[in-house]
Amino acid sequence: MQKRNLGKSNLEVSALGFGCMGMSTSYGVLPDKREMISLTRAAVDRGITFFDTAEVYGPFTNEELVGEALAPVRDQVVLATKFGFNVNPDGSAGWQGLNSRPEHIRQVADASLKRLRTDRIDLFYQHRVDPDVPIEDVAGAVKELIHAGKVKHFGLSEAGVGTIRRAHAVQPVTALQNEYSLWWRKPEAEVIPTLEELGIGLVPYSPLGRGFLTGKMDENTQFGKGDFRSNLPRFTPEARKANQAVVDLLAGIAKQKGATPAQIALAWLLAQKPWIVPIPGTTKLTRLEENIAAVDVKLTPGDLREIDSAAAQIRVQGERYPENLEQLTGR
């Protein structure tokens, strides 16, 4: 597995990370925990060193799963988790608003350390920007945790460029986690140039469009109970039908390369910048191996021009989040 540095930091990770959320929440019927622990260890065996979780995933249960899975190989991997929500204390699904007050950040760090079975968090993200807490206070709280040895690196998620700059001035930001893929390219306008200027890495989540870019679903796909995609505007049957053009584009390139649409989607991201590290998630070993193989798919400058030219003709339909969730991004 190739390695990459997140921005100008000394945080080296596998070129492809592993997004662990779906093993504990959001996609309907939950898989068996023991199988997911085995899958996580299989990812390590195949060279993945970068694992992404959050206290709100479950809540709590995903950190516990990741902690148990990776405890035997803790020094070989990079653990990323997140703070920023008031999580229901009884562990029930959902959350009760944003909370990035410094005292809360410290509490979350201590609780996450226990669940992850570790003495340090390698990358600690603010999950969403809290408009009620100055970002300077947030960065300062994480800076204290870094000085205490509990955290190694500071990250932000779905933050606007002004917030990124203000936070970076207090405590250098190692990585920004944002949705970014061939069907969500908004970060290219302002965010990616800012990250390049400041030397901050980009960690794209949902690099496969929450499964849509794999080509394994269409307008007739039925989502199971508890699958949050059924609430997303971009996943209505009408939007899926309209957005099939993106998958068709990927499939055409994939055929030329002897690859799959998912591999082309990931290879495209990896080709954008050397400091971009996508974190696709899966609950299946076959998909994990398919994703890992994307690292070896080489797209030429001509391939990239062809993809960009074709993608420019496609207008993706549907917002990525309902309005109440979209309001939490880009602050």
Residues forming the active site? 57
Q: For the range 153-156, what are the long-range contacts, defined as Cβ-Cβ under 8 Å and sequence gap of 24 or more?
A: 153/6, 153/9, 153/11, 153/122, 153/123, 153/124, 154/123, 154/124, 155/80, 155/82, 155/123, 155/124, 155/125, 155/126, 155/203, 156/125, 156/126, 156/129
**For the chain, give me the number of helices (H) and strands (E)?**
11, 11
List, in sequence order, every beta strand (DSSP E) within the chain: 3-5, 12-14, 18-19, 50-52, 78-83, 85-87, 95-98, 121-126, 151-157, 173-179, 201-205
CA 227 – CA 290 distance, rounded (Å): 23
> Up-side HSE of residue 175: CA atoms within 13 Å toward CB?
31
Of the candidates 82, 84, 175, 89, the one whose C-alpha atom is nearest the C-alpha of residue 133 is 84
Q: In 3D, which of 70, 57, 84, 72 has the Cα closest to residue 17? A: 70
- List Cα–Cα distances, 78 to 46, 117, 175, 222, 308, in angstroms: 15, 13, 13, 35, 33
Torsion of CA 39, 44, 49, 52, to 10 degrees: 10
Report the alpha-carbon distance of residue 102 to residue 105 in Å, rounded.
Answer: 5
